[in-house]
Amino acid sequence: MNYRFFPNFTKEELAKIQLEGLKWTVNHAYQGSAQYQKKLKKSGIHPNDIKSLEDLQYLPFTTVEDLREGYPLPLLSVPEEEVVRIHASSGTTGKRKVLAYTQKDIDTWKIMLARCFELAGLSPLDRIQIAVGYGLWTAGAGFQLGCEYFGAMAVPIGPGNLDMQLQLLVDFQTTCLCSTASMALLLAEQVKKHQLQSKIALKKAIFGAEPHTPKMRKYIEETLNLEDTFDIPGMTEVYGPGTGLECSAHQGIHYWADLFILEILDPNTLKPVQPGEVGEMVITTLCKEAVPLIRYRTRDLTRFIPGECSCGLNLPRHDHILGRSDDMFIFRGVNIYPGQIATILEQFPELSSEYQIYLNRKQGLDFMTIKVEAQEGTTIPDNLATAVEKNIKTKILVSSKVEIVPPLSLPRSFGKTKRLIDERDN
């Protein structure tokens, strides 16, 4: 296949690009940012010490605390007049994380997104409805930028506003939706309710910002009659959405290894996990000017996917983001990620993909209630809740109470759906 936006290098060529990028990045950060220089000096590394990719392991980690410390322009490594834009993440705790961009950073980002649209099999005749936040958030700006550079037609709406979303889906015969899976679910439910299936032309959807289950995706694909859907990873710290994309083979996410180096580390030992094992994504950028990242601890959990992809694309792969180390909760001494619960619920065809986990404390003891919606049009067997509880007990080794609630009864969201409600400190 002939791609317009994809590089095609041998492993040796890629390694050479990565080494050059790593040397440039460490030197650039050291020269440009007092905060980075201090950090590197403290760990005893000088940019000239970087001789091979193996030397990556000696570099200090960068964390979210480093981004908060230098607020409002942390780790800035270029003179301020070269910054043309900032974006920020929502910052649920303390001040928000603000990231800066040079014009070159924006140009790199637009290539990343153009690759995504190409990998999703779109063409300049596609019409892409962008149903994610603009302004301070990276999502809208990123999709818009990439869409225009790719040459498709951007239909920029932003999140929410279901009536307008539906109207433009119909009026513009939009072919591709970019949104959270939660938002797409909401839209699918509305399309079904208003019987608009035959009036829309959606073929593809690209989902970002939150982990979603295969069941959720299947419901959206069937209800909206989609040809294919794609998972897009990304984070404000590394430009925004589009650090890679799932290809149509659906065997993991190809990521742009010419633009950043990905390590998967054990979050406790900070050493590489065994091949194929789950760990924390740690990212080192290779050409980011305004705010380069050196071994940035993303807190996102994933694993490398070994071997060649059947799609033929010569770029390494990681798995879907399986959760965030932040999302982990400790329940009666057991470490649990919401995604583990989701994976179990997934196996019961009578249940929908919508669930919420409630944690409570009574007389010093923790209790977990899992509310999950019944699949529409399904009869729920009497013993189903008990069967799910048993399954959770067997696989995660904890007791829980499962409540099967009516379809559409849990709250919907335009953005990331809140899966965990922890009321133990109340």
Applying CB under 8 A, the residues found at the interface with its own copies are: 71-72, 80-87, 95, 100, 103, 106, 123-125, 130, 134-136, 140-141, 144, 147-148, 151-158, 164, 171-172
Question: Which one, 64 or 262, has the nearer CB to its own copies?
Answer: 64
Minimal distance in Å, beta carbon 38 to its own copies?
A: 22
Minimal distance in Å, beta carbon 132 to its own copies?
A: 10
Tell me how crowded residue 178 is: count the other CB atoms within 10 A of its CB: 32
**242 burial via Cβ count (<10 Å: 0-12, 13-18, 19+):** buried
Question: Which one, 153 or 166, has the nearer CB to its own copies?
Answer: 153
Alpha carbon distances (Å) from 173 to 79, 203, 394, 401, 404: 45, 10, 48, 45, 37
Report the interhelical angle of 181-193 vs 214-224 (nearest 10°). Answer: 40
Q: Of 20, 414, 426, 420, which is closest to residue 179 (Cα–Cα)?
A: 414
Question: Which one, 152 or 404, has the nearer CB to its own copies?
Answer: 152
Minimal distance in Å, beta carbon 293 to its own copies?
A: 20
Measured distance CA(374)–CA(353) in Å, rounded = 9
Question: Which one, 143 or 355, has the nearer CB to its own copies?
Answer: 143
For the record, the structure tokens of 95 come out as 């001040």
Query: How do beta strands 296-302 and 304-305 pair?
Result: unpaired
Measured distance CA(37)–CA(28) in Å, rounded = 10
Instruction: Tell me if residue 61 falls in helix, strand or coil.
Output: coil
Question: Which one, 56 or 100, has the nearer CB to its own copies?
Answer: 100
Measured distance CA(100)–CA(379) in Å, rounded = 53
Minimal distance in Å, beta carbon 301 to its own copies?
A: 30
For the record, the structure tokens of 360 come out as 């409570």
Measured distance CA(17)–CA(273) in Å, rounded = 24
Question: Which one, 83 or 238, has the nearer CB to its own copies?
Answer: 83
Provide the β-strand partners of residue 128.
154, 176
Question: Which one, 165 or 353, has the nearer CB to its own copies?
Answer: 165
Measured distance CA(223)–CA(24) in Å, rounded = 48
Q: Of 119, 144, 73, which is closest to residue 314 (Cα–Cα)?
A: 119
Provide the β-strand partners of residue 284.
261
Alpha-carbon Rg for the chain, nearest whole angstrom, is: 22
Alpha carbon distances (Å) from 191 to 54, 162, 165, 168, 203: 52, 10, 10, 12, 14
Question: Which one, 158 or 407, has the nearer CB to its own copies?
Answer: 158
Minimal distance in Å, beta carbon 25 to its own copies?
A: 22
Instruction: Tell me if residue 213 falls in helix, strand or coil.
Output: coil
Minimal distance in Å, beta carbon 239 to its own copies?
A: 15
Q: Of 189, 97, 178, which is closest to residue 145 (Cα–Cα)?
A: 178
Question: Which one, 89 or 400, has the nearer CB to its own copies?
Answer: 89
Question: Which one, 106 or 287, has the nearer CB to its own copies?
Answer: 106
**DSSP strands (E only) in 36-92:** 83-88
* Site of tokens 């989902």: 207
Question: Which one, 237 or 246, has the nearer CB to its own copies?
Answer: 237
Instruction: Report the Cα–Cα distance between both ends of the chain, in Å, rounded.
Output: 57
Asked if residues 247 and 3 have their Cβ atoms less than 8 Å apart, the reply is: no
